[in-house]
Amino acid sequence: MARTPDPKKAYLELHGGTWRVTVSVPVPVRRALGATKLVHNLGTDSLREANVLKRKHVERFKRRIAEAMEAVGRPGVDDMKIAVEFSKVAEELKRNGSAEDWQEFQEAVYERHAEIRWKDARWVRVEDPEEGPNEVEEALPEQTEKAMLFSAISHGRATPVDLMHEDYRKQLFVKDRTRADDARALRFLQEWCKRERIPATLQEIDVRRAHAFADALVEMTGLHHVTLNKYIGRLSGYWQWMVPRTAAVSGNVFANVRLKGPKEKHDQKERPFKDSELADLLRGPAPPKLRDLMLIGALTGARLDAIVDLKVRDTAYNCFLFKPQKQEASARYVPIHADLAELVARRTAGKQPEDDLFPEWPPVKKADSMRERSFKASNRFTEYRRSVGVDEVVPGKRRSLVNFHSFRRWFSSRMEQAGVPGEMISAIVGHKRSSITLDVYSEGPHMRAARRAIAKLKLPPLDGSPIRDEMTLRPRAHPR
């Protein structure tokens, strides 16, 4: 077992009949200081006198060690990362370690434990019943907690919640923005643990605390319950991934954790464009770079980011090849509608296969930006949509009930009205539930059926003639 120091003899050692001050030197700076410990003989055999005299020497030695640490670049090293490395050593020692190995390991852990605990400690005056008034060093409570956590992790009794998170994020096939959601969700959990004085370890987060964390999120962040449920879902995915990979997690504690909020009314859900609204958008004064996006959105059902990311090569075989989005496993082909033939010919003329179809909407230049390439196009479309009077704002909702995604909803609803089977619609728009694969190389029956389906889609009249919008069985509430 590692020795536990007597508080009355902290930093003191009896040597040759007199007391001397001793302060251990951390391993990284032992070579720089030329010693494993710093020593100063106090020249007294009285423990009471030694405790009075030691303080200035302890502080002097600590300053010297701190300067050496700074010189070798030690500041900034994460104590918990060191603890994790120690835990790996502990696992190996459990299998093959000798008693001497364990003694050396425990001494090393204790040395770092003490270094953490006594960081920024203060000197306080106390009354000793036997020896009278004395000054002793008192550790800060938060440093004591950090030191205890360090020892628990080092010995494998605790596992930091973020230990495996980077490995988890690396195997995700999602957008950078979703990866950022994962990081933000874990940060919320760590902040809650800090606020509640709970060690941020996997062993401490059980089902009860997972629910308590969720309940506290609204007050902590002020975000809408739908957004917060997204973050809880990201944590649930992380926990589920860890279950077969570490003994520290026996189950997904976030599996059934959800925040409840007011149920969204039917007339407050985002919806497709009406035919009249679609006509207003396409007849309005939109610049070609925006009008072309809208046309492709309406006649393919593709998401905006997939459209702006198209290359010239992605228009071969009289099909668009859209990159995978959301839960799509792979890229997908969509036949090019006849009404898009002129647009494609114009945008591919004189260009190389690797050229952008929409160079007017370039990628975000900032390397660490989480914004999608379509960010500026989306903002410009919103401004334009509002300028032509196509909008529906509901009090209490941040977004309009119509947006660029309404082209995708319009496409699906009009295909359904044209009698196209749901399985084919899903294959064209890239819904996960479809089992149909559209292959351009063999031009099999599914692709031929997809071309016939796309041909059934008709844009509303754009010549100014009256447009009668389709009636639905559920009328929408009129804005007041």
pLDDT in tens, 17-55: 898 999 888 877 787 788 888 899 988 888 888 887 888
Angle (nearest 5°) at CA 285 between 280 and 287:
120
Please state, in angstroms and rounded to a whole number, the distance separating the CA atoms of residues 314 and 216.
47
pLDDT band at 433 (very low <50, low <70, confident <90, very high): low
Q: Where are the alpha helices (DSSP H) in 7-46?
A: 30-33
CA angle 315, 404, 479 (to 5 degrees): 155
Whole-number pLDDT of residue 73: 56
pLDDT at 474 over 60: no
pLDDT of residue 99: 87
User: Which is nearest to 318 in space by CA: 174, 450, 430, 140?
Assistant: 450
Say yes or no to pLDDT of 480 above 50.
no
- Given a contact cutoff of 8 angstroms between Cβ atoms, the answer to whether 413 and 272 are in contact is yes
Contacts of 292 (CB under 8 A, 6+ apart): 343, 347, 358
Q: What is the mean pLDDT of residues 314-321?
A: 94
- Quick one: average pLDDT of 282-300? 96
Is 281:388 a contact under the CB 8 Å cutoff? Answer: yes
Q: What would the mean pLDDT of 390-416 be, rounded to a whole number?
A: 90
pLDDT at position 74: 47
* pLDDT at 5 > cutoff 70: no
Closest CA to 136 of 44, 55, 20, 40: 55
Give how far the C-alpha of residue 457 lies from the chain's centroid of Cα atoms, to the nearest Å: 40
Answer yes or no: are the C-beta atoms of 36 and 30 closer than 8 Å. yes
pLDDT at 203 over 60: yes
Q: What pLDDT digit, counting tens, does each position of 377-389 carry?
A: 999 999 999 999 9
**Structure confidence by residue, pLDDT tens digits, 166-192:** 889 888 877 777 888 999 999 999 999
| Cα–Cα distance list, 419 to 313, 408, 429, 448 (Å) | 32, 17, 16, 16
Give dist(CA 35, CA 11) in Å, integer. Answer: 16
* pLDDT tens digits, 125-150: 777 777 667 777 888 888 888 888 88
pLDDT higher than threshold 60 for residue 368: yes
Q: Is the pLDDT of residue 428 over 50?
A: yes
Residue 254: half-sphere exposure toward Cβ, Cα within 13 Å: 26
* pLDDT beyond 80 at 76: no
Segment among 78-82, 86-90, 410-414 with least mean pLDDT = 78-82
Burial class (CB in 10 A: 0-12, 13-18, 19+), 91: exposed
Q: Which residue has the higher pLDDT, 41 or 437?
A: 41
Question: Taking the model in full, what pTM does it have?
Answer: 0.58
In angstroms, how far apart are the furthest CA atoms of the chain?
A: 109
- Taken in order of first residue, the domains within the chain and their CATH numbers are 5-70 (no CATH), 75-125+134-153 (no CATH), 162-241 (no CATH), 270-454 (1.10.443.10)
Residues 6+ apart with CB under 8 A from 424: 434, 436, 446, 449, 450, 453
- Average pLDDT on 96-118 reads 86
Can you give the pLDDT at residue 75?
42
- On the question of pLDDT at 240 being above 60, the answer is yes
The span from the CA of 439 to the CA of 333, in Å, is: 7
Helices (H), 35-174: 47-72, 79-96, 99-117, 141-154, 165-170
pLDDT bucket at 238, cuts 50 / 70 / 90: very high
Report the range of poorest mean pLDDT among 68-82, 252-266, 360-374, 376-390.
68-82
For residue 105, how many C-alpha atoms fall within 13 Å in the half-sphere facing its CB?
A: 22
- State the pLDDT at residue 353: 95
Token representation of residue 70:
């700074």
List, in sequence order, the alpha helices (H) in 118-250: 141-154, 165-170, 176-195, 207-221, 225-242
How would you class 470 by CB atoms within 10 Å of its CB: exposed for 0-12, middle for 13-18, buried for 19 or more? Answer: exposed
Query: Which single residue is written with the structure tokens 């007294």?
Result: 44
Identify the residue with better confidence: 431 or 239: 239
Which pair of structure tokens corresponds to residue 43? 């020249």
For the segment 196-202, the average pLDDT, to the nearest whole number, is: 91
Q: Note the pLDDT of residue 72.
A: 64
